[in-house]
């Protein structure tokens, strides 16, 4: 999905997994349309009395909405219940317990 969007708007990217300007979520403003790349990430969180774990070994998503600093709604596919359809899920960076993630701002 990210590839199709980037190519549609003629964004400059390496054709792999570097999608523009690398951002620091601690110091840079993150906006809808920025892209997040996950590598070997494990997420743990609690919701409605349940505890959940999710793995993103190698996954790309688009930041769909910024709810607060470090709290985003992500648009992505091939993940969770949405499978090949695009779905929206929430991510709080504080829930990442392992792995690396990179946030990029696409450029022309």
Domain boundary assignment for the chain = 2-105
What six digits make up the tokens of 28? 């840079």
pLDDT of amino acid 84: 75
pLDDT of amino acid 81: 63
User: From first to last of its 108 residues, what are the pLDDT tens digits of the chain?
Assistant: 677 777 777 777 677 777 789 999 999 999 999 999 999 999 999 989 999 999 999 999 999 999 999 999 999 987 766 667 888 999 999 999 999 999 999 887
pLDDT of amino acid 95: 97
CA distances from 7 to 17, 19, 88 (A): 13, 11, 21
Q: Provide the b/e sequence for 29-52 (b: ≥16 CB within 10 Å).
A: ebeeebbbbbeebebebeeeeeee
Spatial neighbors of 107 by CB under 8 A, at least 6 apart, are 11, 12, 20, 21
pLDDT of amino acid 17: 72
The answer to whether the CB of 61 falls within 8 A of the CB of 76 is: yes
Residue 40: name the closest of 66, 17, 20 by CA. Answer: 17
């Amino acid at each position: 999905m990210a590839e199709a969007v980037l190519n549609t708007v003629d964004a400059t990217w390496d054709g792999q997994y570097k999608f523009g300007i690398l951002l620091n979520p601690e110091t840079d403003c993150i906006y809808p349309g920025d892209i997040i790349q996950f590598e070997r990430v494990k997420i743990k969180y609690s919701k409605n009395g349940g505890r959940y774990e999710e793995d993103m070994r190698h996954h790309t998503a688009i930041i769909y909405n910024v709810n607060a600093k470090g709290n985003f709604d992500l648009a992505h596919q091939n993940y969770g219940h949405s499978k090949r359809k695009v779905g929206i899920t929430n991510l709080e960076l504080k829930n990442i317990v392992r792995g690396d993630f990179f946030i990029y701002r696409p450029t022309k």
